[in-house]
Structure 1
Amino acid sequence: MSGTRPWRHELAAVLDRLAADRRDAPAMIDSAGPLTFNELHQRARDRSRNLDHCCRRLRPLTARSDADFLVDVFATWLAGGIPLPLPAHGASELARTLPRTPGAGCEPWKAVLGIDEGRYRLLVTHGEPPSVPRKALALGMRPDGCALISSPLHLNGPFEFAVRQILLGGTVVICPVFTPEVWATYADRHRPSWIFLVPTQLRRLFDDVGETVVAQAAASVDRLVYSSQPCPPDLRARLLAVFGAERIAEYYGSAGYDGTLRIGDAAGGVPINGAEIRICGPDGAPAPAGTVGTVEARSGVGLASHFLPEGCPPPGAWHTVGDQGHVDSTGRLHLASVAVSGRAIVGGVNVALEHVHAVLAAHPAIDYCTVSAVPDTVYGHRLISEVQTRAPTLTTEKLHAYCAARLAAPERPVRLDLIRPSPPEATAHAVDL
């Protein structure tokens, strides 16, 4: 691809500099304690020496909420590989079905699972590497800051936010698991300046430990960024009451493009530095201000993403995930809907409905099944499934266990309705009566 930047050398140079300039400062803090920039540098260098086989190849990594996972990410980059963070459940099955090598001339630095027509596909990103501070600074991170991440690191947002804060020279605190009590403990102990939460997590915090505890634990925070799912008006009002307008920001974007930032109680979001947003009508042509249509975005700094095995898009290409909204006369984006066919947003996680259906349909005792998303006051949406079976021993408990072994938590249907067709003899007998 023309214009590809030497991101491997840039990342290595930044990591070398941070190991020298911030040698004993913590790059990460997890449940095991701090890991300094020098330790990160040494461990990533040591591991990269055994990864010659992954140069220019995607390297699937089962994401864990610990510093060691991010050491693996940096080792992959130093070896010239492309990290592909995957969820713990179903990761090996997914990895076997996905391509490992981008096309000729394509030099991505990251791969994640995106959703296309209800199925997971590999989405790679190339161009401006995460060592460039543009996006981190636009989101309110600081070179001397401390970011608290409490969402799974296989998700694009938390993954990017974590590595960008480290490469900026700050500290990332990794919450081992999200519960309101654990989060409040980590925030109070480590005094972060920047935190990322999804609306589901915010509601659970306010409902379970209360606004007062959240306010005290987050007293050191300069910027709270929330994203990944729509924030209901009542929850936004609680956020404003606890944090004030200047400390909160709603980020809208996707794994495929940078997006907008809405500060405090502002009406609509402004494209972050380097991002361009437009609205298109049904015919694909740009729509005038105030017209609701499909949200499209592109990068003005050479950042680009595309699905594999497709080739690199031409420079300046526009991208969309199908969300709807309008841009007002001042250039602010107002979202109208994020309902996209084949996708459900469950607790801030994008779920491919066709994938969930395929996992259920593969059960040998299931004859037919449906999967759908229903509204949920806490998680935004949850999945339910209707399953038809002739197996008398199949129970909902067994099906829930089957799903738990193969699907990540947001993908698992919370309700499984078993339907057993009446035997032909019983039906005939009932008619005779």
Structure 2
Amino acid sequence: MATAKNFNGQSRGVTAPRGFRAGGIHCGIKKAGALDLALIVSERSGPIAGVFTQNRVVAAPVLLDRLHLKHGIGRAIIVNSGNANACTGRQGMDAARATAAAAARALKISTHEVFVGSTGVIGRALPVDKLLRAVPSLAAATSLGGGILAARAIMTTDVHPKYTAKQARINGRPVTVGGMAKGSGMIHPHMATMLGYVTTDAAITRSALKKALMVATNESFNCISVDGDTSTNDTVLCLSNGMAGNSQIREGTVGYRQFVRLLIDVCQILALSICRDGEGVTKVVKISVHEAKTAAQARLVAQTIGTSNLVKTALFGEDANWGRIMAAIGRSGVPVDPSHISISFGGVPMVRKGAGLGLAAERRIAKVFRQKEFTIDVGLGQGQHRSHLWTTDLSFDYVRINASYRS
């Protein structure tokens, strides 16, 4: 099977696949000239798939993108930062439609081929006039090297831009997947305050692309948690233009499985970069749960551990308090037999058959807790199913950042 690999175009992100350009400029939403408007455009139209927030309060760009997805085809994505255009009523929907229409005019394409994203403060009217005035300049400024500018233009509280690309040989041709994302707070499974945009030059059916994106999202963006909150704007879009020249990828084929692996690799890199750039984060920890009766039970245990404030503060304080892991397992709602539970930290066993292994083991795991990244392995002793979640610690800085987010 083909394997994803790094290649020279990795640093171009969304413009690494053939036929994509991108750019980012300042349009006046943010202060002091910070980049706040991004555009991705393909030379050709192609299948597009999307996954969105499960929050019942949904921002205007998400509503519009869902409508445009019914056409099943895309060519451009335009995203602003600094304003979420959420909870803004009819005015917000009008602004989202106007943004898509302006980009369509500038690019000379159909409006339904343009997808819109917004991120920032909720509840404030989008200064759409500033945005619309900037669209022609942004369209003219897109380039093969503009992927990094686009990634910077979608940042809010992010410290670092997030972008990557991978390539693998599929159906006899090199196929590339590139991506960019933003997010550092309000991050939790089932999407969160994050945006992810993925491009590929693969020739693939719309149904195969849709299924592949669902699989990749569930293995990446739905496996991270910073603070347990989810937002109104969460979006992941994947746009394909078929310019790799491979024979068309269809579900159930070897080429499909190879493409899914490539897509997962890119999405996991972006997801982990969100964790590493989380608000106030000093540690990123993988919670790996195995020996569960069902995958759903494994997932629930992982999420309960990974979102426990007591666990997260212990991670920040480098306090090897394994009892908090046991307590989280017990309150997850999953029927467990404590005498079957095992726990290891960074490969060091601490709990076997539900009992701690003593002070010597605690001293060994105390060294693990001082690492920036490590894995907590939990065995439930009940079956063959597993799941995982990447979580972060909860620090003083997280409180400081979110206490003054709007100021």
Provide the TM-score with structure 1 as the length reference. Answer: 0.28
Indicate the structure with greater helix content. Answer: 2
Provide the TM-score with structure 2 as the length reference. Answer: 0.29
Higher relative contact order (CA 8 A, sep 6+): 2
